[in-house]
Amino acid sequence: MTVEATIALPVGTTLDRFIMRQQENFGYAKGELSQLLRDIALASKIIGKEINRAGLTDITGAFGRENVQGESQQKLDVIANIRFKRALINGGEVCGILSEEEDEIIQTNNYNGKYVVAIDPLDGSSNIDVNVSIGTIFSIYRRVSPVGTPAVIDDFMQGGRKQVAAGYILYGSSTVMVYTTGQGVNCFTYESSLGEFFFSHADMTIPSTGKIYSVNDAYFDEFAAPVQTFVTEMRRTKGAMARYIGSLVGDFHRNLLKGGIYLYPPTAKTPHGKLRLLYECYPLAFVIEQAGGRGYDGTQDILDITPTHVHQRCAAYLGSTQLIDELVKQLNCEV
Ligand code: AHG
Ligand code: MN
Ligand code: MN
């Protein structure tokens, strides 16, 4: 490329600048939420770097303990949890954290922090050791407890519609951060040589329908009849394609771009669904609704679920509106 051609290309908008501009649109915003989003981005850069080098250092494999869900923790689950905690504690905007990796809510001792964060620090941990995409999912609320006091469980139990921001980082063929503050969904791609996320996909919308379905087929026989019918009908009438890597963030991101549906129905082993409501389903349901899609749990929209437990699970169907509507129709036929 010629010098003229090279310098004619703009470098682009960094995540920081984008966040700053968004903040300027709200005269009243004091910048705490902006800072918090930057803290999450910073932690994700560090984790992304560690993931990239994982095979060269001794950080693959099991950690040797189980988390509160009874699932074996991987070393990188534990590392990612520590990185996010440090970034959020040092950032100062958050009074409490709920993490998949810890039983109790975490007090940051920043009593003046106005926000709380629920986080799945590393999603898709079965894919860490095999070089397949993994992610981070986060959900942010404005606290309901008084500023100046420790965080309480109720700060996290406000329900999905009270999220002020949510999103994910996908450590894939490139690393992207996708988030919403309730005004559409934007995506930023990481430029590792510059150490910055750059604005790359503006105002993302999911196609209203699609051919992709993402489900763990091994459990098919355990799904309720309407869910089975939905999947077989999709195969029969739409020329559907199955795509499932077992990292929710990866499967979700693909379907957001291409159109499709992600399904994790109840199974014998996980009769209430496998995915966690507060740090997997709520944030992704917020993103998908903002992108024009829909998140459903089998009886209601995920964002309308009243939470009962910080680590509760839920069935999840996330995707293109027409596909979810067809699934809902099947589920209602059965009643
Ligand atoms: P996590 O690694 O945070 O525990 O999440 C794993 C989740 C999700 O990422 C994925 O879609 C699903 O578990 C895969 O479950 P199956 O292996 O049962 O299909
Ligand atoms: Mn997960
Ligand atoms: Mn996880």
Ligand 1 centroid distance, CA of 248 (Å): 6
Domain pair 11-201 / 212-334, same fold? no
C-alpha span between 61 and 125 (Å, rounded): 10
In the 8-state DSSP scheme, what is residue 306? P
Nearest atom within ligand 1 for CA of residue 120: 3
Which CATH number applies to 11-201?
3.30.540.10
C-alpha span between 262 and 57 (Å, rounded): 34
Residue 274 CA: which ligand is closest?
1
Ligand 2 centroid distance, CA of 84 (Å): 15
Break the chain into its structural domains and give their ranges: 11-201, 212-334
The 10s digit of each residue's pLDDT in 238-294 is 899 999 999 999 999 999 999 999 999 999 999 999 999 999 999 999 999 999 999
Ligand 2 centroid distance, CA of 12 (Å): 31
Ligand 3 centroid distance, CA of 77 (Å): 6
Ligand 1 binding pocket, CB closer than 6 Å: 71, 100, 120, 123-125, 216, 246-248, 274
pLDDT of residue 299: 97
The 10s digit of each residue's pLDDT in 185-204 is 999 999 999 999 999 999 99
Q: Which of the four pLDDT bands, split at 50, 70 and 90, describes residue 4?
A: confident
Which CATH number applies to 212-334?
3.40.190.80
Residue 247 CA: which ligand is closest?
1
Residue nearest (by alpha carbon) to ligand 1 atom 12: 246
Its sign, for the CA torsion 55, 59, 198, 295, is positive
The 10s digit of each residue's pLDDT in 205-240 is 999 999 999 999 999 999 999 999 999 999 999 899
C-alpha span between 120 and 124 (Å, rounded): 10
Residue 101 CA: which ligand is closest?
3
pTM above the 0.75 mark? yes
